[in-house]
Amino acid sequence: MSEPEAKRVKMSNPVIGTHNGHFHADEALAVFLLRLLPQYRNASLIRTRDPEVLKTCTIVVDVGGVHDDNILRYDHHQREFNANFPGKNTKLSSAGLVWMHYGHRIINAVTGISEKDADCELLYQKIYEDFVEAFDANDNGISAYDPSAIRQAGIEKKFNDKGFSIASVVNRYNYAPSAREGADGPTANGTTTSGAPAPKKEKSQDEEDARFLRASAFVGEQFSLEIEDRAQSWLPARGVVKQAFAERQQWDPQGRIIVIPYKPEGVPWSDHLYALEAEKGCEGQVLYALFAENGEPNSKWRIRAVSLEPGSFENRKGLPEQWRGVRDEELSKVSGVPGCVFVHASGFIGGNVTFEGALDMAKKAVDM
């Protein structure tokens, strides 16, 4: 795009600027996040490294060598850059910069929750920690664990997980043939939702932009699912789990069993349980959570071992070894509890036809 053309675009509607060439997950997410805000919902996109063209953009992310919220410039590649999200140590990428400066406004635009509401701040922190921070770490080459410490400990990976990392998923849009077509949203040079040109030895700017927009739409969909789940399910569950946590000693004097009431929208309980235990200084106390399969009076019930930490496949106390992989009458005989349905072979979950039966399973399991 020529400079006069870019100036005309700026005069007519907002323009988001980022760099052209090989793209990464952080700017793909940053652009999507900006377009959730009313003022940028219909913004055009310019992908260039030309400083003169970037000057014509309303807002610029991941290029330009400047981080200055006052002039809407959000790059993180300059030598002196060392910004972090409040309370975190991970260096920010363009995704984190946009979230840090605009996260409250994005939450309000997507969910309707007031920026001044305590729930908005809770979501702002939670979504950064559980979603956006991984983009920042990935783009800045920060591993979840210290690689040198892992090597010194002699720990080897059991399988290759790089095929579905943040970087690998977005990188496919850079080169995969099927990624040429389809993208959501306009670019300043006319690329829309279809019709990227046929591949040549070198990609045209139109094709490259279309690929970028598909990548942005992909990571954006994951973000949309995340914020929707957090706002509509996770946030309301906080009060439900808090009440259940307060009542835990009626099921076990030592508070090792928690009963989660059924809600049609679901009750994602584990995050809240860890937080409540930390608040009360009793980390690791709850070993099993009970919950109904549905809201019917005759619903079957599940018993779930609490994980060591969020996302872990290890449990604080798995269901008894002799119950694992056993079902129905045989399981009832082995456990001494009527109505047993199953216990998973790994011992992380089991089931009973009644609440009383599931509770009996939990009461026996805590002391075995």
Residue 46 CB neighbour total at 10 angstroms: 27
The per-residue pLDDT for 288 is 98
The per-residue pLDDT for 143 is 87
Residue showing tokens 């139109």: 206
Tokens of 285: 């106390």
pTM of the model: 0.78
- Alpha helices, H only, 204-335: 205-229, 235-246, 270-280, 328-335
The per-residue pLDDT for 196 is 42
d(CA 281, CA 142): 31
The per-residue pLDDT for 180 is 64
Q: What is the DSSP letter of 354?
A: S
Cβ-Cβ contacts under 8 Å for 295 (sequence gap 6 or more): 262, 264
The per-residue pLDDT for 181 is 56
d(CA 356, CA 139): 50
- Please, which contacts does 307-316 make with residues 24 or more away whose CB atoms are closer than 8 Å? 307/270, 307/348, 309/274, 310/270, 310/271, 310/274, 313/346, 313/348, 315/347, 315/348, 316/284, 316/286, 316/287
Average pLDDT per 10 consecutive residues for the chain, totaling 368 residues: 44 88 97 98 96 97 97 97 96 98 98 96 96 96 87 86 82 83 47 41 82 96 96 93 97 97 91 94 97 95 94 93 97 97 97 98 96
